[in-house]
Structure 1
Amino acid sequence: MSDILNKIVAVKHEEVAAARKRVPLEAIRADAESRVLTRDFVGAMRAKIAAGQAAVIAEIKKASPSKGVIRSGEFIPADLAQSYAEGDGAISAACLSVLTDRQFFQGSIDYLKQARASCGLPVLRKDFMVDAWQVYESRAIGADCILLIAACLDDAQMRDFEAIALSLGMAVLVEVHDAAEMERALKLRTPLVGVNNRNLRSFEVSLQTTLDLRSSVPADRLLVTESGIATRQDVKTLRDAGVDAFLVGESFMRAEEPGEALAQLFR
């Protein structure tokens, strides 16, 4: 792992330890299991692709460790979610991704709740899962999908967290950065495999990462490309290579109307 990822994971373990004291595992599990109305994250993405469009997971993200504050001024998750859901009336998001990490991304679980309540799109909780407690919490706050980052977890953890998520009706997006992590990810049951184009050590971004790993993904899996998608040519390059699912946030967050920016990028 990179230094920043190591730091984030260490902080997450501290946060979970404190959270477990406030709300025991048994209590958060009972809360999660009582919430049965999940939205079909994978189905929403496949429906867009079946209609001939790109399946876009549109991200609500205020800041990042490397870029600082991305969206200055008003940051109203409910309005951003509605903008993504509407698009330009013809092209819109398939799903949402909401950053809930507070210390490094200035996120909040309240942002996820507000975004999900304002529209009908399924929502991914974008955070750093290091403990089963967080998986249960994700369903308790309304998430329809969780992110598992292969670089942060061993195989046993990924299997366990995936099993919990699936038992709660949530989808799982497993994120990889290279061929070794892809091999590990494909051992899981989830059809969603995300390729992060950002190098963990140099932080350089290259769409070639997705293009290089594309051939290793079986036809029954859905490859989601993440990071570095900023122009129509980027989208064309990836779609010409058979990549139809995208997670995009930063370029939309800088736009006055994120949903219109999405429609322009994927027109």
Structure 2
Amino acid sequence: MGTILDRILDQKRKEVELLKSQPVIKSGSTKNITPLYDTLRQSNQLSVIAEIKRASPSKGDINVGMEPPEQAKLYEQSGAKAISVLTDQPFFKGTIEDLKQVRETVQLPVLCKDFIIDQVQIDRAKQAGANVILLIAAALPEEQLKALNDYAISSGLEVLFEVHNEVELKAAESLGAKIIGINNRDLKTFKTDLAVTERLASQIQNPDVMVISESGIKTNEDAKRVFQAGANGILVGETLMKSNNVPDALQQLIV
């Protein structure tokens, strides 16, 4: 059966084969967007990357009926510094079209949140207007991660490099990751613990590295906890997607 991550990656390999059979035009948004790294670096508050997330394997349906452009605009107006768009369809009910619509709507950096295992996915993300892609250390061997990281950067994209433990953090640092995402959720068990950010952020000595705490951040207290641990930003999906008052919920997370 394998872990949830194993099942997602199995499906992703099939998706990649399908993508490779279709032409991908290597172009992207011409919008003049401030890079995510600069946005994080210039802020003395905790920056919120607000996520468009319809569903997840652990929570099931979260907010299937929302319209991504409307949600993204609401995020932007409420103080988000970037928008993350889940583009995985089988497990998260997202699409690349969601990302295109969001890119057309906001002036913020847009992160393509997916399980990237091949260059063709990076080409597709750029074509859809992404400024940033996600690379997950738990998903691939270090050599492949380095090749994809280098390819994304050479394509003019930023990389959010996601780690969950010390071994993955060392891999991120060895390839010179400028934005490191610490996922509080174990992708093999989907258990979440904010102590992961506290533990790993304290080990990042390079002041030029920007740290994003991901998953499990729901309250003002959670936000303060990871900010005090050294996070420059947080990536929040479920809490905002479920909120009946997005502006208030988002403001509660800016500390």
Q: TM-score range by the shorter chain?
A: over 0.9
Give the equivalent residue in structure 2 for 1:240: 228
Q: Deviations over 1:173-205 (max 9, x none)?
A: 010110111111111233100011012333221
Is the 1:124–1:143 contact (alpha carbons within 8 Å) kept by the matching residues of 2? Answer: yes
In the alignment, structure 1 residue 84 sits paired with structure 2 residue 75: yes
Give identity over the alignment, percent: 38
Count the aligned residue pairs.
Answer: 252
d(CA) in 1 for partners of 2:188 and 2:150? 30
TM-score with structure 2 setting the length: 0.93
The Cα shift of 1:34 comes to 6.4
Give the equivalent residue in structure 2 for 1:135: 122
Alignment of 1:80-119 (within 5 A): 80-87=71-78, 92-119=79-106
Is the 2:40–2:232 contact (alpha carbons within 8 Å) kept by the matching residues of 1? Answer: no
d(CA) in 1 for partners of 2:169 and 2:190? 19
Name the amino acid aligned to 1:226: E
Give the equivalent residue in structure 2 for 1:224: 212
In the alignment, structure 1 residue 166 sits paired with structure 2 residue 153: yes
d(CA) in 2 for partners of 1:259 and 1:131? 36
Question: Which SS does the other structure have where 1:121 is aligned?
Answer: coil
Is the 1:38–1:144 contact (alpha carbons within 8 Å) kept by the matching residues of 2? Answer: no
Q: Deviations over 1:78-110 (max 9, x none)?
A: 1111111111xxxx1110100000111000111
Cα gap change, 1:38/1:106 in structure 2, threshold over 3 Å: closer, same or farther?
farther
Give the equivalent residue in structure 1 for 2:179: 192
Give the equivalent residue in structure 1 for 2:26: 32
Name the amino acid aligned to 1:162: N
Match of 1:120 among 101, 107, 111: 107
Give the equivalent residue in structure 1 for 2:8: 8
More moved, 162-171 vs 35-44 = 35-44
TM-score with structure 1 setting the length: 0.89
Provide structure 1 residue ranges, at least 5 long, that are not aligned to the other structure: none
d(CA) in 2 for partners of 1:161 and 1:229? 28
Give the equivalent residue in structure 2 for 1:69: 61
d(CA) in 1 for partners of 2:254 and 2:121? 33
Alignment of 1:39-50 (within 5 A): 39=33, 40-47=35-42, 49=43
Q: Deviations over 1:26-48 (max 9, x none)?
A: xx2xx22565556312122223x
Is the 2:29–2:130 contact (alpha carbons within 8 Å) kept by the matching residues of 1? Answer: no
Give the equivalent residue in structure 2 for 1:206: 193
Is the 2:49–2:234 contact (alpha carbons within 8 Å) kept by the matching residues of 1? Answer: yes
Question: Which SS does the other structure have where 1:186 is aligned?
Answer: helix
Alignment of 1:246-261 (within 5 A): 246-261=234-249
Q: Deviations over 1:105-138 (max 9, x none)?
A: 0001111111111110110000000111111111
Give the equivalent residue in structure 2 for 1:150: 137
Cα gap change, 1:14/1:110 in structure 2, threshold over 3 Å: closer, same or farther?
same
d(CA) in 2 for partners of 1:155 and 1:38? 32
Give the equivalent residue in structure 1 for 2:21: 21
RMSD: 1.6
The Cα shift of 1:264 comes to 2.4
More moved, 125-134 vs 250-259 = 250-259
Name the amino acid aligned to 1:44: T
d(CA) in 2 for partners of 1:119 and 1:38? 11
The Cα shift of 1:71 comes to 1.2
